[in-house]
Structure 1
Amino acid sequence: MRSITVMSGILAPVLCATAVSAAPVPDGPGKDSVPAYVGAPATPKAIPGSPVPSNPHMARPGTAAMHADSWASDTYPFLGPLGRNPKVVSTAKAGGLPALCSTVNYAARTHLIVAQCTNVGTFTLRLIDPKTLKDLATFKLPARPSTVTAVTGLDVDAVLTDTSGGAYYYLDDKDRAVLADSNFHVRRFAHVRDGEGWKFKVTDDWNLKKYVPHSCPTWSEPEPKGVCDPVTSVQPDWKGDIWWVTRKGRVGTIDPKTGRVKVVKLKGEQIQNSFAASRDGVSVVSDHALYKFRADAQGRPKAVWRKPYDRGTRRKSGQLDQGSGTTPTILQGGLVAITDNAEPRMNVLVHRMSDGELLCKVPVFKPGKSATDNSLIGFGRSLVVENNSGYRNFIELASGASSHGGLSRIDITDSGCRTVWTSKERSPSTVAKASVPGGLVYAYTKEPRKDGVDAWYLTAIDFHTGKTVFKVLAGTGKLFDNNWAPVTLTPDGAAHVGVVGGLVTVRDS
């Protein structure tokens, strides 16, 4: 979900494009030396628990956001691929259109994909046919200031650790994309069709420059004197206010009816990830603490409670900063979960949403080899955590290498929490997801190989047992590295993965 971008220019109110086809993502060496399919088709067995409730101001759960819904459950109420004669299709950039898609959402009204994608030179909102992967419309977005820093300061890490620019956007209850761009505007985009075809149309525009320091690097002034504080994520609460957070620890709201903006600043803290919202409040994690917020009568965010966690002593390999790498995950029973950054082992932490009380703390993975920068999967009374330790970015991952690996299921019981299983699968950097009716966890995996072949697989793990059910080869080579992009399931039974070279889709034939 993090990616390199470079772009500048003024946005037109509408940018349309006719359907554009593209060639498949090209494979690297070794495709014929690795199996195209491993395992056997899955038999669906549902995950126990009640459905994730629908935020009335977002699209239905499973179609609304990078983390699937307002609770950031990373679960879907429909089936993904079951491994029955699976077919893999991909599309690479063509005609200057963007490649890696950081966020892929599904507009149920039009049955089209709305994706935020990036390539060196662009940041783009795309409308995609889910079957052909052709672009039906595109809208160019502003470049992130970190791109300037990466180029002029020779600091590639600046852009590879930047989560701003629109990746954490959502679809509202009318399937309109609400996105915070790098020009400090929160805009709402409808996708509409006329005699010329599909196009994106800006229906609302809220300017945050009055409320956020925006002296950001530009090509003409790469080292400005002021402060630059990019907006990283937006999402509505249950009342309809649009909440937003910034990298340097600002938490704000927008009243979409009046345009009123309110904001508070967390002193000495940063926010790297997105946040979650329930009827009870908004859950935000900084690089120091977990918070529960509510808006007061004037719309100003107020911290109901703050719970510090062990942030460790350093930024680990497999993390984007020194702190929790997870977006908070809300669970049934009024619970919220994150991971910390403790040494020698990272812990899964479960708090009570009402008062912040810590209910349990479970260490995961091997000492000195535990870190994650991806949200927990949460459903019912269960969580799944992924180990990203050993992965930094697609540039630094050596050929044939992988992360330290592991995914663990944690169950919350009356007496605390326990580890149910740990899979040895290596999912270097993807946001893993789960299908509730299928009972499958989907990860994007890569095993280390002495021959240097980079073989990337969509991998289905049995949620109940932790056993690998099947693996489908997406492709080989650096271009199939997802570089923090998520697995996304869509109601038509497909799984989509944004990769460095483009977009990969796996579906049963």
Structure 2
Amino acid sequence: MRLRSLAATAAAGVLALTLASAPSATGSVRTDGTLDADGFALPGLPALPTIPGLPIPPLPTDLLVPRFTGAAVTAQPLDAPPVPQNPWLAPNGRSSMHNDAYSTDAYAVSGPTGRALTMRTASYGIRECATMAFDSHDRIVGLCGGLEGFTMMVIDPVTLRPVSQLQLSARDLGKAANPFTDLCGGTYFFLDGQDRAYATTTRSSIAEVQVGADGGLSKGRTWPLTSYLGADDCLVATGVDWSGRVWWFSQQGTVGTLDRATGAVKALELPDGEGIYNSVSSDETGGVYFVSTHRSYRLDAAADGTPEITWAIPYDRGSAKKPGMLSQGSGTSPTLIGERWIAIADNADPQSHVIVYDRRRGVPDGEREHCSVPVLQGGASTTENSLVAAGNSLIIENNYGYAGVQSTLLGKSTTPGVSRVMIDDEGCHVAWTNPTIAPTSVPKASLGNGLVYVYSKPPRKDLLDAWYVTAIDIRTGETRWSRLTGTGIQWNNHYAAIYLGPDGALYVATIVGLVRLADG
């Protein structure tokens, strides 16, 4: 009972420790303060407390768990279909949460192989940088959410110290049912080739933010979209097609386009009851792809920009919202592979499926589904994170059982399972299932070395909460190595993605900061 008491005390007190160890910003961090009418911070007014990047506080219990298991590997690159470069996005691997217009979650660069690993951390208070990109100077550009709202940050990729930050919008805690699962106006953004970020705000607008050569952030244009949404609706995601047209998506099922040159907006409403909780993809044929709580969609824009449904395919959304999900429906952004395939995971009972469709125009609806295969555990399978495109295959992670940070406290964890699904001309099949438990990470693949990375948490009877970066061999499904980040609630990534930087360093956000892991 004493150990349980100590573990509970540590879990309850470590966030306060994080804040206490995070003094106000020094002069090296440019920051803005209160919000103007568009939800942006106004320069010259009292600044919000900011963090100069002190390490995430460790706990003495770090010494009681394995620091590293497994062994370093030799890189074995994995072939994959090419991903065309959208001319309106930053280079592939650098533009958004899911890496590129195809949302492959895969990198050409070789990530950590486990050789003489070095780790650095930085604390930013109760603030998680769930979506990150990399600018033309290799700096991290992150959209970071906390109780106060959503802040754009530029972060040094080696020291993890903030270079600058700009609060985009405040969170209305009176409207948000749970600020830790609220996707409204601050989860997704994309970065273009001119280091301009386009993000949604809690005031139902799209905000343009310029990253300067020196790393400073400045407000660009703002496009209000309130008149196109219901009073209790909000913006969830933005994307851009191959013509440079910005697409926006609301949680209650309104989809629209924005012409940034003229400000013209066109909108389409989905059938009543369909919501949108995930990001979007696009391809070089003009298609824009997303998943509602009921159907998978391809949209194309008419000549005047009006969104038009090219095809919409229902999937099995299950009978209820499973533990680990933010909605009753698919938790995946659509993943594109090559010139033909698009893949999602459903929410079926008793077992989720990976579904692969032919995304091309002109395919009869009855022939559009290429294959559907059950994955993970029967009665305990679901994913709230997108599928990873690894060559001609997909990797899915089981998030069943994650109902919030309390689900992984005092040694508890969620349901195991990471699977690889192979695609061929005849259909698809499960190649392997690895027993690693990864409660909520957005996994990422390194095509440069043949590893897929997840953020794992094994259950422990001693009540300790140990979090690891785990590398799995894509070809065999074997766990190659795991590296401890730390013990305690402060290491929970809570739906944040894993990223690989241009130099191959691995990053994962936690609820209080950022971790960098690299080969020595």
TM score, norm. by length of structure 2? 0.88
**Given the alignment, which residue of 166, 174, 183 partners 2:203?**
183
Aligned residue type for 1:349: I
1:101 aligns with 2:106: no
The yes-or-no answer on 1:237 pairing with 2:241 is: yes
Give the distance between the partners of 2:95 and 2:398, measured in 1 at CA: 25
Alpha carbons 2:240, 2:282 under 8 Å: kept = yes
Residues 200-221 of structure 1: per-residue CA shift (max 9 Å, x gap): 11222211122223xxxxxxxx
- Greater mean alpha carbon deviation, residues 16-25 or residues 429-438: 16-25
Contact (CA 8 Å) 1:234, 1:245: kept in 2 or not? yes
| Matching of residues 210-221 of structure 1 within 5 Å | 210-213=227-230
1:246 equivalent in alignment to 2:250: yes
Residue of structure 1 aligned with 2:409, choices 394, 398, 405 = 398
Residues 136-151 of structure 1 aligned to structure 2 (within 5 Å): 136-145=163-172, 147-150=173-176
Deviation digits for residues 424-453 of structure 1 (CA, Å, limit 9, x no counterpart): 111100100001111110100000000011
Q: Distance in 2 between matches of 1:315 and 1:442?
A: 27
Given that residues 21 and 135 in structure 1 are in contact (C-alpha distance below 8 angstroms), is that contact kept between their aligned partners in structure 2?
A: yes
How far does residue 192 in structure 1 lie from its aligned partner after superposition?
A: 1.4
TM-superposed deviation, 1:50: 2.6
Q: Which amino acid aligns with 1:110?
A: H
Q: SS where residue 32 of structure 1 aligns?
A: helix
Q: Could you say which residue in structure 1 is the equivalent of 2:23?
A: none
User: How far is the alpha carbon of 1:40 from its aligned partner?
Assistant: 1.0
- SS of structure 2 residue aligned to 1:141: strand
| Per-residue deviation, 1:29 | 5.3
Match of 2:357 among 351, 361, 365: 351
Distance 2:402 2:51 in 1: 34
Tell whether 2:70 aligns with 1:39.
Answer: yes
The aligned amino acid for 2:281 is A
Q: What's the counterpart of residue 157 of structure 2? A: 130
Between the aligned partners of 1:255 and 1:244, the Cα distance in structure 2 is 11
Q: Which residue of 2 aligns with 1:203?
A: 220
Q: How many residues align?
A: 476
1:76 and 1:18 mapped to 2: Cα distance? 35
State how 1:12-31 maps to structure 2 within 5 Å.
12=41, 21-28=52-59, 30-31=61-62
Quickly say closer, same or farther: Cα 1:279–1:423, change in 2 above 3 A: same
- Is the 8 Å Cα contact of residues 205 and 222 (structure 2) preserved in structure 1? yes
Q: 1:469 — aligned with what?
A: 480
Aligned amino acid, residue 53 of structure 2: A
Q: Which runs of 5+ in 2 are unaligned?
A: 1-32
Give the fraction of aligned pairs with identical amino acids, expressed as a percent. 38
Q: How far did 1:17 drift?
A: 11
Q: Could you tell which deviates more after superposition, 85-94 or 238-247?
A: 85-94
Q: Pick from 113, 118, 125 the counterpart of residue 82 of structure 1.
A: 113
* Residues 316-361 of structure 1: per-residue CA shift (max 9 Å, x gap): 0111110001001011131100011101100000000013500000
Letter matched to residue 183 of structure 2: T
Report the alpha carbon displacement of residue 93 of structure 1 after superposing the two structures with TM. Answer: 2.4
TM-superposed deviation, 1:8? 7.5
Letter in 1 for 2:127: A
Q: CA deviation at 1:120?
A: 2.5
Partner of 1:223: none
1:65 and 1:430 mapped to 2: Cα distance? 16
Per-residue deviation, 1:163: 1.6
Which whole-Å CA distance do the structure 2 matches of 1:493 and 1:164 have between them?
31
Question: 2:187 pairs with 156, 167, 184, which one?
Answer: 167
CA deviation vs aligned residue, 1:220-266 (integer Å, no higher than 9, x gap): xxxxxxx2211000010011100010000011100112111111111
**Structure 2 residue 259 is the aligned partner of structure 1 residue 255:** yes
Match of 1:327 among 316, 329, 333: 333
Counterparts of 1:240 and 1:9 in 2: how far apart (Å)? Answer: 29
What residue identity is the alignment partner of 1:272? Y
In 2, Cα distance between equivalents of 1:371 and 1:198: 39
The offset of 1:175, in angstroms, is: 2.1
Distance in 2, matches of 1:450 and 1:8, equals 46
Q: Distance in 2 between matches of 1:318 and 1:371?
A: 7
1:337 pairs, out of 340, 343, 350, with 343
Q: Aligned partners of 1:12 and 1:428: how far apart in 2? A: 34
Question: For residue 101 of structure 1, what is the amino acid of its counterpart?
Answer: C
Deviation of the 1:149 alpha carbon: 3.1
Q: Distance in 2 between matches of 1:251 and 1:352?
A: 22
Partners in 2 of 1:384 and 1:69 — Cα distance? Answer: 17
Amino acid at match of 1:322: Q
The structural deviation recorded for 1:144 is: 3.2
Q: What one-letter code is carried by the residue in structure 2 that aligns with 1:128?
A: I
CA displacement at 1:123 relative to structure 2: 1.7
Quote the Cα distance in structure 1 between the aligned partners of 2:62 and 2:164: 33
Matched residue SS, 1:67: coil
- Aligned amino acid, residue 401 of structure 2: G
Aligned mates of 1:393, 1:8 — CA distance in 2: 30
Give 3-state SS (helix, strand or coil) of 1:343's partner.
Answer: coil
For 1:46 and 1:71, the matched residues in 2 are separated by 20
User: Equivalents in 2 of 1:251, 1:126: separation in Å?
Assistant: 28
8 Å CA contact retained: 1:76, 1:434: yes
Q: CA deviation at 1:394?
A: 1.0
Pairing 1:260-299 to 2, within 5 Å after superposition: 260-268=264-272, 269-280=274-285, 281-299=287-305
Q: Is the 8 A contact 1:442 1:460 kept in 2?
A: yes
Helix, strand or coil: the match of 2:216?
Answer: strand
The one-character-per-residue Cα deviations of 1:136-186 (angstroms, maximum 9, x if unpaired) are: 1000121233x2235xxxx43xx3332222221011121211111111121
Match of 2:497 in 1: 486
In structure 2, what is the Cα distance between the partners aligned to 1:19 and 1:446?
Answer: 30
Q: Which runs of 4+ in 1 moved over 6 A?
A: 15-19
Secondary structure of 2:95's aligned partner: coil
CA distance in 2, matches of 1:30, 1:18: 29
- State the Cα distance separating 1:273 from its structure 2 match: 0.6
SS at match of 1:148: coil
Q: Which runs of 5+ in 1 are unaligned?
A: 1-6, 214-226
> Residue 57 of structure 1 corresponds to which residue in structure 2?
88
CA contact (8 A) 2:294 2:314 kept: yes
Which protein, 1 or 2, shows the higher relative CO under an 8 Å CA cutoff with sep ≥ 6?
A: 1
TM-score normalised per structure 1: 0.90
SS in 2 for 1:472: strand
Query: What secondary structure sits across from 1:30 in the alignment?
Result: helix
Is 1:91 paired with 2:122?
yes
Q: Does structure 2 retain, via aligned residues, the 8 Å contact 1:49–1:379?
A: yes
Conserved in 2, the CA contact under 8 Å of 1:345 and 1:367? yes
Native 8 Å contact 1:387 1:406 kept in 2: yes
User: C-alpha root-mean-square deviation of aligned residues, in Å?
Assistant: 1.9
Superposed CA deviations along residues 18-38 of structure 1, whole A, max 9, x for unmatched, are: 996332111245211111111
Distance 2:59 2:379 in 1: 32
Separation in structure 1 between the aligned mates of residue 248 and residue 329 of structure 2, nearest angstrom: 20
- In the alignment, the residues of structure 2 paired with residue 180 and residue 119 of structure 1 have an alpha-carbon distance, to the nearest angstrom, of 15
Distance 2:61 2:195 in 1: 41
Structure 2 SS opposite 1:311: coil
- Looking at structure 2, the residues matched to 374 and 29 of structure 1 have their Cα atoms a distance apart, in angstroms, of 32
Structure 1 residue 51, shift from structure 2 partner = 2.5
Instruction: Indicate yes or no: 2:102 matched with 1:71.
Output: yes
In structure 1, C-alpha distance between the alignment counterparts of 2:79 and 2:69, rounded to whole Å: 27
1:216 alignment counterpart:
none
